Amino acid sequence: MAPKPKSKPPKQSQKSPPPSTSPHPDSHLTPEAFERDLKSLAAKAQSQTLSAHLLTQAHIYLSSLTLLTLAALTSTASQLALSPVYGSIPASQWHTQLVAAACFTGWSANLALGRALPIKPILLLPVFALWVVPGQWALYKASETLGGVWGPVVTEFLTIFPVIALSAACVATYLDGADLSFLPSWVRDATPGLVSYGVFKAAEVLGREYAGRYPVVNSRVGLEMVVGASYTLLAPSRLLVWAVPALVHTAVWNVHAPTGWALERLNATLGREGWVVLDRRESVTGYVSVIESEKDGFRLMRCDHSLLGGEWVKFLGHPQFQGNQVAEPVYGVFAMLEAVRLVKMPKRIVDKDAKALVIGLGVGTTPGALVAHGIDTMVVEIDPAVHEFASKYFQLPENHTAVIEDAVSYTDRLASTTADDGQFDYIIHDVFTGGAEPIALFTLEFLQNLHTLLKPSGVIAINYAGDFALPPPMVVVKTIHQVFPSCRIFREHPRDEASVKKHGSDFTNMVIFCTKLADREISFRQPNARDLLNSPSREVFLMPKHEVKDEDFTVGREDGILTKNDTAKLVKWHGKSALGHWKVMRTVLPPSIWENW
C-alpha cells in the first residue's frame, strides 16, 4: 500500500490582527486622557452637595456665636458678682475698656496662641471659666486695700480677662475657615472682627437685661457656674481635672453660693464679729439681704453696696416700747420725712381723712409711721423682695396698700386719670440706689406727675442723697423748684467742714419739703406727744433742723434742669458720686460685711 501523503500544516493568515482595545500602559499620559481625568475630578467636586458645604459653615458660625455669647455672659455675670462688694457703678467704671482690651488681645493673638500652646486654646476655656468664682472670692478680701477704683479692675483682669481673651482667640480661629467669598474683597479682612464684636456687645446687652433682672439661677455665683459648665460642654477634655479644686471650693467654702450650707458658713464667719444674715435674695434691683448686729442690737436691709434702712431691735423687749406701733429707726432722715404732717397749711389735714403716697419702701419706717397715725397709705415699690423682707423682718404694718411696680409707669398711668384737685394729701419720695439717684424718678416729667397727684393743700417730701461738692444736687433742686414753687431743704446732719476740707466731698441726705402754694412760705408746727409716737428717735429727728440755704449749692447752677430726654448732665457725675458713697458705706459697716455679702 502506498503511504498516504503527509498533511500540510495550515497556512498562516496574512491579515493583520485587529487593533487591541486594552489601554496602553502609558495611555494616561496623553493629553486626551489628562483632560478626561480633569473632567472626572471636576465632576466629583461638583457632586459634593450644597448641604455639606452649608453644614461646615454652620458649624463655624454656630461655634463662634456660642463662644461670643458665653463670653458676653461671663462679662455680665462678673458685673453682677462684683456689685455687692463695690456697687454697680464703681464696678462698671472701667469694665467696658477692660473687656474691649481682652477681646482685642485674644483676637490679635490667636495665631500666636495656636503655635505657642501644645494644646488647642479652646480646651483651656472651661478651666479658666470655672476658676472665675473662687478667684473673685479670694480677691474680694482685698477690696478694702485695692479701693473702689482699682478693686474691680484688678479683680476682673485676673479672672474674666483670660476667659474673654481666649474666647476671642478661638472665635478668630474658627472664622478663618469661614467662606466670605460673597463679600467684596476690600471688606473681607475687617468683617469677621467687626461683626464678632458687634455680636458680643449685643449679647452683653441682652445678658444685662435678662440675667440681671430675671436671673436664670437664684444667685450671681450660680450664673457664673452655669457659664463655666456651658464652656465645659463646648470643649470637654482631660484638662478639666484642673478645675476640680475650683468646683470643690465653690461647693464647700464659697459663702456666696446659693445653698443653705453656704449661708451657715457665712453666719459662722460673720458671727465672730457679732453679725448674722437673717435672709438674702437675688431680686430685680440687686442682691437684697437682711443683716443684724447681735452685738449692738440693730437690723438693716442692704441692696448690693448700699443700705435701704434699719431699725433698732434691742428696744423691742424694753418696757417703754412695748405695744409701740412703730420701730426706732437707725437713720434719722426717715423720721424727718414724717414732718410732712407738721407743715402748716391754711386748713389742717386730719389724719383719719388723709391719704398718703410713698414712692420707695426701704424697711418701711415712714409708711409705718403714717399708718400709725391713721393715714390711708399706699406704697409703690419696684422690688418684691424689699416689700417681703420689710414685712417679715421689720415693723411694716399690714394695713397699707402695696403696689409692686415701677414708680414711673405707675404714676404716669395714675396721673393721666387724676383730676386737678389731686388724690393725695402727702407724698413721700424716698428712692436711692448705690451712690447715684435713679434719674427717671427726678426728671421734670416724673415730678409733674407727682404735682398732679398732690392735692392743692398737700405736702410733698423728697429725700435726696448726694454730694454737695458735685453738680447733681443743684440740678435736682432746680428741677424740683420748676414744679413746686414753695420749698425748704434740710440736711440730716450739719456740714462737717473739717471732713469736707480733708476729703473734698460733702455726701449727705437732705429732705426737700414742698407745697403747691406759691404765695405761702413753708413753716412747721411744734410736734406734740402724738406726733412723736413714743419714740426717742423722733424726739431728736422729726423736727427738721439743719436748713440748706441757696448759697450752700456752690456747683451745678449752669447745668439747667433734668428732663427725661436730657439725663447726661447727671449720668456723667455718677461715677464720682458712687465712689464717694462707697467710701461712706465702708465706714458705716465693717469690710467683712460687704466682702462676704
Which residue segments constitute the domains of the chain, with CATH numbers given? 54-258 (no CATH), 324-595 (3.40.50.150)
Beta bridge partners of 289: 280, 302
C-alpha cell at 596: 462676704
Helix, strand or coil for residue 466?
Answer: strand
Beta bridge partners of 509: 465
C-alpha cell at 373: 397715725
Sign for the CA dihedral angle at 288, 366, 581, 406 comes to positive
Q: Could you tell me the mean pLDDT of each successive run of 10 residues in the chain, 597 residues long? A: 48 50 54 70 62 84 95 94 94 95 92 82 95 97 95 98 96 89 84 92 86 64 92 94 95 90 93 94 91 95 94 84 85 92 92 96 95 96 95 94 95 92 95 77 96 96 90 92 95 85 84 92 94 93 93 83 88 87 91 92
Neighbours of 294 (CB within 10 A): 15
- pLDDT for position 4: 47
Backbone angles phi, psi at 340, to 5 degrees: -55, -30
CA-CA distance, 119 to 551, in Å (whole number)?
A: 67
Neighbours of 351 (CB within 10 A): 16
Show Cβ contacts of residue 109 under 8 Å, excluding neighbours closer than 6 positions: 165, 169
- pLDDT for position 478: 94
CA-CA distance, 579 to 597, in Å (whole number)?
A: 19
List the alpha helices (DSSP H) in 457-512.
472-483, 497-503
- pLDDT for position 573: 87
Question: Would you say 468 and 508 are in contact if contact means Cβ atoms under 8 Å apart?
Answer: yes
Identify the H or E element spanning 97: helix 95-108
Beta bridge partners of 548: 489
Question: Would you say 166 and 121 are in contact if contact means Cβ atoms under 8 Å apart?
Answer: yes
- pLDDT for position 43: 63
Q: At what angle do helices 220-234 and 132-140 cross, to 10 degrees?
A: 150
- pLDDT for position 342: 97
Task: Give the burial class of 365: count Cβ atoms within 10 A of its Cβ; 0-12 exposed, 13-18 middle, 19 or more buried.
Answer: buried
CA-CA distance, 136 to 129, in Å (whole number)?
A: 12
CA-CA distance, 213 to 229, in Å (whole number)?
A: 22
CA-CA distance, 404 to 590, in Å (whole number)?
A: 32
- pLDDT for position 429: 96
Question: Would you say 344 and 520 are in contact if contact means Cβ atoms under 8 Å apart?
Answer: no
- pLDDT for position 51: 76
Helices (H) and strands (E) in the chain, counts: 25, 13
Question: Would you say 219 and 225 are in contact if contact means Cβ atoms under 8 Å apart?
Answer: no
C-alpha cell at 54: 452649608
Instruction: Give whole-number Cα distances, 320 to 316, 317, 369, 534, 535, in Å.
Output: 9, 9, 18, 8, 9
Beta bridge partners of 275: 293
- pLDDT for position 246: 96
